[in-house]
Structure 1
Amino acid sequence: MHRSTPAEATTPWANQWIGPYPDDRFDTFQAEYWRQRPRPSSTYSPLDLDQANGVERQRQDPLGRLKRSSTRKVKLVDGEVLSADYPVPSAVRNATEPRYRELSGTNEFTHMRYTAATCDPNDFTLAKGYNLRPVLYNRHTELLISISYYCEDKSMLAKTLTSVMLETRRIFDQKKSEFWNKGGPACQKIVTCIVCDGIDPCDQGALDVLETIGLYQDGVMKKDVDGKEVQAHIFEYTTQIAVTEDQRLVQNTVNSNLIPPTQLILTLKSRNSQKINSHRWLFTGIGRLLNPEVCVTIDAGTKVKPYGIHRLWIAFYNDKDLGACCGVIEPELGRWCRGLLNPLVAAQYFEYKVSYILDKAMESAFGYLNVLPGAFSAYRFRAIMGRPLEQYFHGDPTLIKMLGKKGVEGMNAFKRNMFLAEDRILAYELITKAGTKWHTLVITEARAETDVPDNMIDFITQRRRWLNGALASTVYNLSHFSRIYKSNHNILRMGFLHVQVAYNVLSFILSWFNLATFFLTIFVVTDLASSPNDGSNVRPFPFGKATPVFNAVLQTMYMVVVCWQFILALGNRPIGQTLSYLVSFIFFAIVQLYFIINVIYFMYCVIRDKTATSNGNSYSYISTFYTDIGQLTVWVTCASVFGVYYVAAFLHFDPWFMFTAYPQYLFVLSSYTNIINIYAFSNAHDVSWGSKTTHTALEALPSVVTTNVRREGRRDTVEIVEELPSFRTDIDSHFEKVVKRALTPYKRPSRSSTMTIEDKFRQYRTMLIAVYAFTNFLLCLIVMNDSFDKLKFLGNSRTHKIWFFKIWMWATSVCFGMRFVGSTWTRGHTLLVLCFFRK
């Protein structure tokens, strides 16, 4: 086996290039490549491979799969494990630099390795005969990069994989690094693993991309080994070829080395069993064999920006107590940022930006991120081993038999919803791990782009899972907070975590009553602007005498549309009510616009009244309400809600989204609560991920094949179906059994009075939506209804409105203030660390 010497490890690459790849650096294969590899039906065509290596000539069958004209004997490892090397096409082999291709003692550049894993991920161990090339070559894996794939198209997979391969290049070029330039080339310490959630959902184009770079061959997969069904097909290859998202090939030339040798592993699961099972193959199967220091998780479709992965790794290298971290994810806006023209995409763009600049920055200051997005996060592997992964994998549907009632089948609807937000579970288990003091951070300098829903149907469906998972995990984390005392955090960190819990409680309460808050603020502000004092020369705003009638109609429609959302959510799928949801989004956007206009008029009246002479107090009906709430309350709230966004954006040197996406967000904001929240809670019984079902009954039916035969005495042919003949004894025996079953006295089955799992899930949904609707309705009733005026100790309805706004405004201001302080601390800490970090 070849071992790279320190001299080889530091050998400079010709024409070093760092940063995003420009178009002129994409060198495609020459015409010789295409003469060797024509592409009918998206698979490799006949290739004359090296006969000296004992490789037989390959040919294609009509279905496009590779077949071999003769067989070979493959010895099973330990008599059970099928693992064999297969030569890659000549064009792929020749694309590798000669200095790597001609190395003795290794065939990682000339052959692809295939392993048929017939075991559970827990049994994918050396003791069971399974192994991987980095282990066989005695290499230390510092960085394991995982790409979770389900059914994304080839463009999305190529975009993610190419960005990861270019990150490997940038790490390889760190000539002044204390770590990467020791003990062999940096590329030998990095492994990229693609985990595909089932063969059926895979896009054929995506498999073609993997086959093009040498990682996949369609004709080598096996259904079973000695009667044991293959659970996962594992392919390994070290490549120097990349395919871009616009389907261009990239290879190294004499004058440019864009792609260093990249160690790739493809884990292609036989069946679709959800993302959490894919992570079990990653952490328990692949990860336990490679034993990396850091594991990065990326979703297919995410494009890592330059140095994104490297900066995540640097955070671990400089902080021994860092258990996990995440980078900043930004929605992909397309060319010329045309995505901002879609209000839904623009609103999500603003939401993502604020989430990292304020929310995650504050959580990072406390040391605990509530959620580590699977699209771009990193974990210290030894930190999540043990209880964090054990608890995390309780949501794996393939562990039903092993876990029993502790697994998915024994979970109620609340816990099942909690595992829809699996990235929150691992973050919580990590921070509360007994006897340790791991903390989590957001690395604002590590960035990635991902695609977001651009239509309301996909958006509603996505947020249903996010919101229900977030609700369940938040309640669970708060109710089990005492577990933090079993950890080994210092007193200062404990204090910060207690403050964060208080913030989470307050934020949860505000979020729960958002439905009532929108209702009350819109109704109170619009009524106040349209109700000048009797005898005043001020006309009702904005339509004069018609304003009260307009407001009454608008408020009635508002209540009707909100009620309509419950009806839509309880009995329909979003895709079947596209028009209704579109009209609802537009209506709430119009209401939001009308509300903003009234707020601007409200502030104008207050200023006008304060600057008016003693004879000009026509706007006192508004200024009196303003004074009762309190000038300090109003101005602190305005500074918190609006000022914090702008100051934090400039503090992070990223202010443009405030001007390009904030207006769209304001119009969509009320729909987040009035449509998304209602739909999510009304479908809390739905704990599915939208997995594709398999029709096992259909697969069990026999197949028929038609053949053409010539009829006797005639020249023409007729299509027939060949069947096995039926014997009289078989027919009579079968008929006798049927008659006995038919004449057996019928016993009416007893009706079960016990609730099924589906009944229990629907009961949970009913209770949740009832509590949500009733508590919000009760708050509106107390604030708005004059009937409570008879209870003198509660005051009149005006007093209720004043106190509601006071409490809501101060609570909101406290939340924004804590987010701003935490964001400022994180930003200062980041700038300080950048001056002294080690590479």
Structure 2
Amino acid sequence: MSEIVAMPSAREPALMHPAQPALAPPRRAPGDRPRAPMRLRTPDRRTESVPSTDVRRRVLDLRDSFEPEAFIARAPILAAGAAAAGNGFKNVVCITLYNEPFELLRSSLSALILSIGGQRLAPAQAATGSCVVIIADGRNRIDPQIMRFFTKLGVIDTGRSFSALGETVHLSRKRIDEVMTALGAPGDLMGEIDFAVCVKDENRGKLHSHALFFQWICPELRPELCYQLDAGTVVEAGAVSNLVAYMDERPDVAAAASRILTPTPGDAASTLSIWQYMDFVMQKAVTWPTEVASGYLSVIPGQFCVFRWSAVSAPCSDDDETRPLDAYLRGLNAIEPLERVMFLAEDRVFGNEIVLAQDKSWRIGYCPAAEATTDACDTFGELLRQRRRWQNSALAVRLWLWGRLPAYLARSDKTLLDKARFSASMLWQGLLTASEVMSPAFLLLLIFAAAGGLVHAQNAAAAAAVGGALLACSGLAWLTLTGRPSRWRRALCLARDATATLAVVLLLALAFFSNPLGQAALMTAPVFLMAAVIAFSMPGQRWPALRRLPVYLLTDRPISLILYAYALANVHNVSWGTKGLTRDPRGHSAEERRLRRLRDIIAGSIVAITALLVAVGFEYPGVWSGRKARSSRSSPSSSLSC
């Protein structure tokens, strides 16, 4: 990999001031010669390249979307009059923007400031210094109302600033009541809060914004805890206090996820919003606690999470000066197909690098007491693109991790406990992948079993009632799939919920009526267990989640199958997919062909597995609906156990 030595830029004058005393000098690999100060380039100047193997000096190589910049590990050059942050901050929160409307930023920022201001009210916590970093990814994409807000508040074009990656970061300190008034949410909170605002000239991707935040802004601000917050995510009043307490009590935790849900569905909620809400509920109630118990949380959600700065910024060991942050930012230059898919969900990659760090035993935690609400997808097309990115990146990360499992087990710097935890987590990830691969076969067998149970039921009246309830629920779920306004909408949604509840109750009753008690209990146990887990692990959301559980049970498999099939069919697409970013600016055709071949292999394997499982399933009692002798065991209530 070559490094780009940049030349002066007419767009922004290079200010060559001495490094501030508070800033550590940039690291150099052994044998590296001291380098001359870096300067930005102009389009009419040539660049020179110098070979390097140091991962911290990799270039941001997105040639098709913006001009190359200097290497990312360079210490920031402060503009005239800029002062380094005092003694550092307890909390530094990064909010990234693209084309989100001002309303989303206003709701997220006002809730965040209230949560930060509430720290002084938390037990055993004093008021701590906090800074909010806002990075807008493209001046031509940002909402003009947000720019007016920045100007009115006075957080841009001020005297304190520094240059980083060809952009200008503005530093300021404001009174909290002044900020809340500008947001249209005046309150009586006292104190001050710092801001670091950067409006990038061009869209360069979210990972570029993270490089700007972690490699440049954080060394200047010297935080103890770094947060990521998506515009549109609203944190609860005690979220920041709970995360601070969680990290203080667990010094071995390098990063922690919060409990994030979509908005609680109302009476007129669409089927799509209910499914998204329940999908998040199941993740927080079942998947994440299981992963934490196995020793590895597979994702640190970028909607709202926290990192310990000392864990991600320190070299792994004296022999290996690579930091978890360095390996994470390699995605800026990812060209291998698997890596490009992985970095569609960069939050998963960051967690991997923390867990795999040399000579360290960091853990990833989950703090359910830190609650936040994120925005949901409004249309099915948006949901398809979002889950395509999430599911494909999750699969790529699993493949990448499984390839490193043998080397991890052979490492001498990991204890037997570390290896046992990682092996257990990889086993759990394997089970999740197996369930996704076999999902089409399960759905087909489910349809055959339900059809056989209804056609050849012992009680025709009961079968008619169950079948009618299922058909009515399916039709109503389709009519209320999205949030289209209608005078009948509320009535249709209530009818959908009622018929779904009736269908589930009838299925459970039919299971006990048509089968021996022990077999019926085994068939219906997953439903009752799921309800018990939700009631136990989701305080504050018990009734809304349990109320929506019937609709989720009847719609989850079909919706999940559609999302999974769409994701695999578009595994070659490595664009962001949402917020208008539906095209990969780099457009590597060779890598795309390799990704298409990978897609064909995976799709062919799933089709073969589905055919095999369906063929084997027909040999078991209760699946083939044509034999009346088996009908008593082919009750449609078996659908609930799947």
TM-score class, shorter-chain normalisation, is: 0.7 to 0.9
Q: Within the alignment, does 1:476 sit opposite 2:400 as a pair?
A: yes
Partner of 2:282: 354
**Aligned partners of 2:562, 2:92: CA distance in 1, in Å?**
40
Instruction: Show structure 2 runs of 5+ residues with no match.
Output: 1-12, 19-36, 41-66, 314-321, 476-482, 485-494, 621-626
Letter in 2 for 1:232: E
| Offset of residue 496 of structure 1 | 3.7
Residue 782 of structure 1 corresponds to: 616
What secondary structure, in the 3-state scheme, does the structure 2 residue paired with 1:433 have?
coil
- Residue number in structure 1 paired with 2:43: none
Give the structure 2 partner of residue 669 of structure 1. Answer: 556
In structure 2, what is the Cα distance between the partners aligned to 1:495 and 1:693? 41
Alpha-carbon distance in structure 2 between the residues aligned to 1:481 and 1:80: 40
Q: Is the CA contact 1:160–1:300 (under 8 Å) kept in the aligned structure 2? A: yes
1:526 aligns with 2:451: yes
Equivalent-residue separation in structure 1 for 2:534 and 2:215 (angstroms)? 40
C-alpha contact 1:146 1:297 (8 A) present in aligned 2: yes
Task: Give the letter aligned to residue 329 of structure 1.
Answer: I
The answer to whether structure 1 residue 280 and structure 2 residue 211 are counterparts is yes
For the pair 1:432 / 2:360, whether they are aligned, the reply is no
Q: Give the match for residue 170 of structure 2.
A: 235
Q: Specify the code of the residue in structure 1 equivalent to 2:592.
A: E
User: Residues 440-472 of structure 1: CA distance to partner in whole angstroms, max 9, x if unpaired?
Assistant: 111111111111112212111111111111111
* SS at 2:117 equivalent: helix
Task: Report the Cα distance in structure 1 between the residues aligned to 2:553 and 2:356, rounded to whole angstroms.
Answer: 37
Aligned AA for 1:367? G
Q: Return the offset for 1:215.
A: 0.6
Distance in 1 of aligned mates of 2:390 and 2:628: 37
Counterpart selection for 1:383 from 307, 311, 334: 311
Which letter maps to 2:608?
A: F
* Aligned positions of 1:476-555 closer than 5 A: 476-485=400-409, 486=411, 490-532=415-457, 538-539=459-460, 542-543=463-464
- Maintained 8 Å contact 2:90/2:223: yes
> Residues of 2 paired with 1:294 and 1:494: CA distance?
28
CA contact (8 A) 2:261 2:277 kept: yes
Measure the CA separation in 1 of the matches of 2:274 and 2:507.
28
1:467 corresponds to: 391
Match of 2:343 among 419, 423, 428: 419
Q: 1:198 aligns with which of 127, 138, 144?
A: 138
* Residues 1:212 and 2:152 aligned together: yes
SS at match of 2:261: strand
1:768 aligns with 2:594: no
Please report how far the alpha carbon of residue 325 of structure 1 lies from its aligned counterpart in structure 2 after TM superposition.
0.3
Equivalent residue in structure 1 for 2:232, among 288, 301, 321: 301
What is the CA–CA distance in structure 1 between the aligned matches of 2:181 and 2:506, rounded to whole Å? Answer: 50
Structure 1 distance, partners of 2:121, 2:392, is 44
Question: Counterpart amino acid of 2:599?
Answer: R
- Shift of the alpha carbon at 1:249? 5.7
Q: Shift of residue 163 of structure 1?
A: 2.1
Relative to the length of structure 2, the TM-score reads 0.73
Match for 2:304: what amino acid? F
Between 668-677 and 152-161, the greater mean CA deviation after superposition: 668-677
- Residue 287 of structure 1 deviates from its aligned partner by 1.6
CA distance in 2, matches of 1:77, 1:219: 15
Preserved contact between residue 574 and residue 584 of structure 2 (Cα < 8 Å): no
Q: 1:516 to 1:176 in 2, by over 3 A?
A: closer
Q: Counterparts of 2:510 and 2:123 in 1: how far apart (Å)?
A: 64
SS in 2 for 1:338: coil
1:342-368: CA deviation from partner (whole Å, max 9, x where unpaired):
221122112212211222122223332
Q: 2:259 aligns with which of 294, 305, 328?
A: 328
The answer as to whether partners of 1:140 and 1:292 remain within 8 angstroms in 2 is yes
Q: Contact 2:256/2:306 (CA < 8 Å) preserved in 1?
A: yes
Which residue is 1:790 aligned to? none
Contact 1:330 1:448 in 2 (8 A): yes
What is the Cα deviation at residue 512 of structure 1?
A: 1.3
Matches within 5 A, 1:438-449: 438-449=362-373
Q: Which residue of 2 aligns with 1:88?
A: none
Report the alpha carbon displacement of residue 518 of structure 1 after superposing the two structures with TM.
1.2
Percent identity reads: 21
Paired residue type of 1:497: F
Say whether 1:156 aligns with 2:91.
no
Residues 80-139 of structure 1: CA deviation (Å, up to 9, x unaligned)? 889xxxxxxxxxxxxxxxxxxxxxxxxxxxxxxxxxx9954625415xx33799962532
Tell me the equivalent position of 1:660: 547
What is the Cα deviation at residue 647 of structure 1?
Answer: 4.1
Shift of 1:640: 3.3
Q: Which residue of 2 aligns with 1:65?
A: none
- Partners of 2:575 and 2:171 lie apart in 1 by 32
Question: In the alignment, which of 521, 525, 543 is matched to residue 639 of structure 1?
Answer: 525
Post-superposition offset of 1:526: 2.0
Structure 1 position 146, deviation (Å): 0.9
Q: Answer whether contact 1:147 1:194 (CA < 8 A) is retained.
A: yes
The answer to whether residue 382 in structure 2 is matched with residue 458 in structure 1 is yes
Q: Output the CA distance in 1 between the equivalents of 2:74 and 2:245.
A: 30
Tell me, in whole angstroms, the C-alpha distance in 2 between the residues paired with 1:277 and 1:542: 58
Shift of 1:695: 14
- Which of 376-385 and 639-648 deviates more? 639-648
Against the structure 1 CA distance between its residues 437 and 756, is the aligned structure 2 distance closer, same or farther, given a 3 Å change threshold? closer
Written as runs of structure 1 = structure 2, the 5 A alignment for 1:22-61 is none
Q: In the alignment, residue 515 of structure 1 is paired with which amino acid?
A: P
SS of equivalent residue, structure 2 residue 72? helix
Counterparts in 2 of 1:140 and 1:245: CA distance versus 1, 3 Å: closer
CA distance in 2 between partners of 1:479 and 1:192 (Å)? 38
Structure 1 distance, partners of 2:566, 2:408, is 34
With normalisation by structure 1, the TM-score equals 0.57
- 1:597 shift after superposition: 7.5
Residue 266 of structure 2: SS of its match in structure 1?
helix
Letter of the structure 2 residue corresponding to residue 305 of structure 1? E
How far is 1:776 from its partner?
A: 1.3
Match of 1:756 in 2: 590
Q: Shift of residue 160 of structure 1?
A: 1.6
5 Å-filtered alignment, 1:719-738, equals: none
Alignment partners' CA distance in 1, 2:551 and 2:81 = 51
1:329: how far off?
A: 0.8
State whether residues 209 and 243 of structure 1, in contact with CA within 8 Å, keep that contact through their aligned partners in structure 2: no
Task: Say if 1:594 and 1:771 are closer, same or farther in 2 by CA, change over 3 A.
Answer: farther
Aligned to 2:72: 122
1:328: how far off?
A: 0.7
Tell me the SS of whatever aligns to 1:142: strand
1:369 aligns with 2:297: yes
Matched residues, number: 546
Closer, same or farther: CA 468–377 of 1 in aligned 2, 3 Å: same
Which structure: larger Rg?
1
Deviations along 1:744-791, whole A, 9 cap, x unmatched?
Answer: xxxxxxxxxx983333232222222222223213321332379xxxxx
Instruction: Give the distance between the partners of 1:311 and 1:487, measured in 2 at CA.
Output: 36
The answer (yes or no) to whether the contact 1:468–1:681 under 8 Å persists in 2 is yes
One-letter code aligned to 1:499: A
Q: CA deviation at 1:172?
A: 4.5
Quickly say closer, same or farther: Cα 1:592–1:513, change in 2 above 3 A. farther
Partner of 1:63 in structure 2?
A: none
Q: Deviations over 1:530-576 (max 9, x none)?
A: 2257xxxx5486459xx9xx9xxx9xx99xxxxxxxxxxxxxxxxxx
Q: RMSD between aligned alpha carbons?
A: 4.5
C-alpha distance 469-495 of structure 1, shift in aligned 2 (>3 A): same
Equivalent of 1:171 in 104, 112, 119: 119
Q: Find the aligned partners of 2:190 and 2:618 in 1 and give their Cα distance.
A: 66
- Match for 1:166: what amino acid? L
